[in-house]
């Protein structure tokens, strides 16, 4: 009886061992095949995507950090707003008195050395308030159409208006005026 | 005030004007007296009392009351960032009201202007009111 049990155990163990060996033998070529196969190439982006997803998930797990980061951003804007200034824009005729009325500076201050970079720097400063005098501009939509061609072809003021139209952050900080009165944004 | 901004004994002519930003160009051409042009550019030019050919030039920023009494001119000059420039050539004095003046040296050809939007010919600034 003992002998029968021993034989049975031997056969059983041998079978299991063989299966493992076969599995290993099968698995290796499969791995190799997968790495070189076309389908594996397709699989990589999916895996990467999952990794990115996981990283984002991990990143967003700490709500406190996100709130702190957002508050930090708001704080930076608030500091910038404190040190901000008024930017006066509009056609040349009447720009001086308009700038004075809004206590603003014109291109003669921030654009004297390099107009384009001076202008972009001024409107993109979140602390700056922008005041645009529409007086003298018959059709703002026509003006931005001209301005979209660049200030070389469209003229400085049209280009300025186009830049504000294209930049929601700056547009949000812009007050429009017509004949000395505040008017709604034409856009 | 009255500080000399630029002086040259070369021959200058009123060369170009661009309506955008009121840019006025007075040039001494490189073919007449030098290897390079001297381009004097006034910005936001609002008043010009000037002979267009100038044999020698000295530019000063002067007291705003030095020129004939025009209401529009006085209004313009009442703004802090606007100035009155005296252009002395020989024994004669002329006046330009503008916001500021910049002087450049460049190699542009006769048919090329330094006015405009590309900053052509404005790489080498040699003097200015700011």
Query: Which chain A residue has the Cα nearest residue B21?
Result: A92
Chain A, chain B: beta-carbon pairs less than 8 Å apart: 33
Of A96, A108, A151, the CB nearest to B100: A108
Interchain contact, A96 vs B117, CB within 8 Å: no
Same-domain pairing of A48 and A89:
no
Which residue, of A20, A41, A58, is where some domain finishes?
A: A58
Residues A118 and A46 grouped into a single domain: no
Taking the CA of residue B90 and the nearest CA in chain A, the distance in Å comes to: 30
Quote the pLDDT of residue B109.
Answer: 94
Does one domain contain both A51 and A89?
A: no
Report the residue from B20, B82, B99 with minimal CB separation from A156.
B20
Secondary structure class of B80 (helix, strand, coil): coil
| A88, A107 contact by CB (below 8 A) | no
A46 found inside a domain: yes
- A77 domain-assigned: no
- A173 and A90 belong to one structural domain: yes
A177, A91: one domain: yes
Is A54 found in the same domain as A91?
no
Domain co-membership, A93 together with A179: yes
* Domain segments of chain B as ranges: 4-128
Residues A100 and A35 in one domain: no
The pLDDT assigned to A152 comes to 72
Q: Give the DSSP H or E segment for B71.
A: helix B71-77
Partner-chain contact B119 A92, CB within 8 Å:
no
Give domain status of residue A71, yes or no: no
User: Does residue A54 share a domain with residue A13?
Assistant: yes
Q: Cα distance from A113 to chain B (closest Cα, Å)?
A: 9
Chain A CB contacts of B20 under 8 Å are: 151, 155-156
Confidence category of residue A42, pLDDT binned at 50, 70, 90:
very low
A19 lies in which domain range?
A: 2-58
In a domain, A101, yes or no: yes
Listed in sequence order, the residues at least 6 apart from A83 whose beta carbon sits closer than 8 Å to its beta carbon are: A127
Whether residue A101 is found in the same domain as residue A178: yes
Q: Which residues of chain B, if any, have pLDDT below 50?
A: none
Domain co-membership, A103 together with A175: yes
Answer whether residue A66 is part of any domain.
Answer: no
Instruction: Determine whether the interchain pair B81/A151 forms a contact, defined as Cβ–Cβ distance below 8 Å.
Output: no
Mean pLDDT confidence for A43-57: 39
| pLDDT tens-digit readout, A12-27 | 555 554 544 444 444 4
Provide the token pair at A9.
């155990």
Order of all β-strands in the sheet with B4-18: B47-49, B92-98, B83-89, B53-62, B4-18, B23-28, B37-43, B100-106, B124-128
- The pLDDT tens digits for A129-187 are 999 999 999 999 999 999 998 877 778 899 999 999 999 999 999 999 999 999 999 99
Give the mutation candidate from B22, B44, B78, B116 for the A interface (greatest A CB count, under 10 A).
B44
Sort A96 into a burial class: Cβ within 10 Å, 0-12 / 13-18 / 19+: buried
With a CB-CB cutoff of 8 Å, which residues 95-154 of chain A face chain B? Answer: 96-97, 100, 106-109, 112, 114-115, 150-152
Measured distance CA(B99)–CA(B88) in Å, rounded: 18
CB contact under 8 A, B21 and A109: no
Give the bridge partners for B41, in sequence order. Answer: B25, B102
Give the tens place of pLDDT for each residue, B97-117. Answer: 999 999 999 999 999 999 987
The two structure tokens encoding residue A62: 């700490």
- Which residues in chain B are closer than 8 Å to A156, comparing Cβ atoms? 20-21
- Answer yes or no: do A108 and A158 share one domain: yes
Q: How many domains does chain A have?
A: 2
**B123 phi, psi to nearest 5 deg:** -75, -30
ipTM of the complex: 0.83
Which pLDDT score, from 0 to 100, does residue B64 have? Answer: 86
Which pLDDT tens digit goes with each residue over A59-113? 434 444 434 433 433 444 444 444 689 999 999 999 999 999 999 999 999 998 8
């Amino acid at each position: 009886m003992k002998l029968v049990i021993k034989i049975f155990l031997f056969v059983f163990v041998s079978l299991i061992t063989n299966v493992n060996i076969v599995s290993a033998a099968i698995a290796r070529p499969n791995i190799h095949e997968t790495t070189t196969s076309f389908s594996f190439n397709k699989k990589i982006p999916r895996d990467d995507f999952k990794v990115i997803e996981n990283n984002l998930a991990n990143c967003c797990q700490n709500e406190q950090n996100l709130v702190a980061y957002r508050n930090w951003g708001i704080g930076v804007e608030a500091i910038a707003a404190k040190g901000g200034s008024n930017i006066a824009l509009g056609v040349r005729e009447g720009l001086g008195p308009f700038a004075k009325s809004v206590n603003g500076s014109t291109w003669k201050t921030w654009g004297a050395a390099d107009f384009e970079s001076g202008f972009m720097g001024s409107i993109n400063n979140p602390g700056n308030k922008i005041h645009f005098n529409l007086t003298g501009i018959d059709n703002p939509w026509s003006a931005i159409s001209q301005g979209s061609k660049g200030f070389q072809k469209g003229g400085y003021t049209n280009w300025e208006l186009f830049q504000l139209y294209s930049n929601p952050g700056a547009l949000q900080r812009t007050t429009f005026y017509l004949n000395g009165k505040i008017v709604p944004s034409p856009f | 005030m009255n500080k000399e901004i630029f002086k040259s004994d070369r021959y200058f002519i009123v060369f170009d004007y661009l309506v955008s930003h009121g840019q006025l160009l007075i040039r001494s051409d490189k073919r007449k007296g030098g290897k390079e042009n001297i381009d004097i550019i006034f910005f936001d030019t609002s008043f010009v009392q000037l002979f267009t050919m100038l044999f020698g030039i000295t530019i000063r920023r002067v007291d705003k009351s030095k020129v004939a009494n025009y209401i529009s001119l006085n209004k313009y000059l009442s703004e802090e960032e606007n100035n009155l420039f005296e252009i002395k050539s020989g024994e004669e004095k002329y006046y330009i009201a503008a916001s500021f003046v910049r002087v450049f040296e460049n190699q542009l050809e006769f048919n090329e202007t330094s006015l405009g939007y590309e900053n052509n010919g404005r790489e080498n600034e040699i003097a200015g009111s700011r």
